[in-house]
Amino acid sequence: MLDNFRIKAMTEKTMLNTNFPKLNFFRSGKVRDIYDLGNYYLIISTDRLSAFDVVMSQPIPKKGRVLNQISDFWFSYTKEIIQNHIVTTDANQYPAICDEYREDLLGRSMLVKKTKVIMVECIVRGYLSGTGWNDYKNSGKLCGIELPKGMVESEKLEQPIFTPSTKAEIGGHDENISEEIAIKLIGLELYNEIKTVALRIYKKAYEYAFSKGIILADTKMEFGIDESGKLMLIDELLTPDSSRFWNASKYKKGGPQESFDKQFVRDYLLSINFNKQPPPPDLPYEIIKRTSEKYIEVLKILTGKEV
């Protein structure tokens, strides 16, 4: 007998790719498609999922709507720290050229200001996990930063650490880089500004998430420069795609944690010895189901909203 999730998944419309021929297509990211509407960009969160920088072939039901809504929540929550690129997430307020696509855009899109993207991704880590844990095991350092000896996986750091990375195109892999390399790429003044802002955002979001029973272990942010030359927060923010969300009640350092993010998919791919290169393997139904459920659950816990 089919369970409720499978029945809903069979009837629900998912979006693996966009097709809006009357709009001016600009570019695709791993998850988002961007259209140029003249004064603004229209960003659509699809149901694609990338793991190890490889885009999976199957959509995750409701994922794009979760990403869009949770980003909208965090952009609003952090706007006192820094301006962000959102004009509106209400498809009913988009330019008239979008009208015939409104049903597809509802809940999974945002109209945003244009910026010059800073080509360094900004990662803040509060715990030793992921590539940071691998780095520490090999060198005793985290992206060139010396850490105390004897730390274990998922251990909380004394203070959150800002660790920049390169911004890879589709098919490429983001690479952790040192502070010195990042400064050479974007300059000392801009580097210090994004570092300060990213740490402030992380600390504020961490406290809020923890009050909801969730540990924000780490997160990735992106910034741009607007037409006036000011720094602006862009892209997505504090989503299950760009962050590690752990169940605080089950946290125990010394190994992997129960998460509300795509680590669930990464763990499956590692279990089948995926080589982290295209083409991706097909994901089993149960993996798709649990991933969708985790995304939906963290949205409800953090924002009280449902999709």
Q: For 207-230, how does the pLDDT look when each residue is reduced to its tens digit (9 = 90+)?
A: 999 999 999 999 999 999 999 999
Q: Show Cβ contacts of residue 181 under 8 Å, excluding neighbours closer than 6 positions.
A: 164
Residue 157 counted as domain residue: yes
Task: Say what percent of the chain tops pLDDT 90.
Answer: 87
Closest CA to 127 of 243, 213, 239: 243
Calpha distance 251→277 (Å, rounded): 31
Q: Which domain holds residue 144?
A: 116-270
Structurally, how many domains does the chain consist of? 1
One-letter amino acid for residue 304 of the chain: G
Residue 5 has pLDDT above 60, yes or no: no
Residue 68 counted as domain residue: no
Residue 95 counted as domain residue: no
Calpha distance 151→137 (Å, rounded): 9
Residue 84 has pLDDT above 50, yes or no: yes
Model pTM? Answer: 0.93
Residue 168 has pLDDT above 80, yes or no: no
In sequence order, what are the beta bridge partners of 161? 125
Closest CA to 251 of 199, 209, 220: 209
Residue 246 counted as domain residue: yes
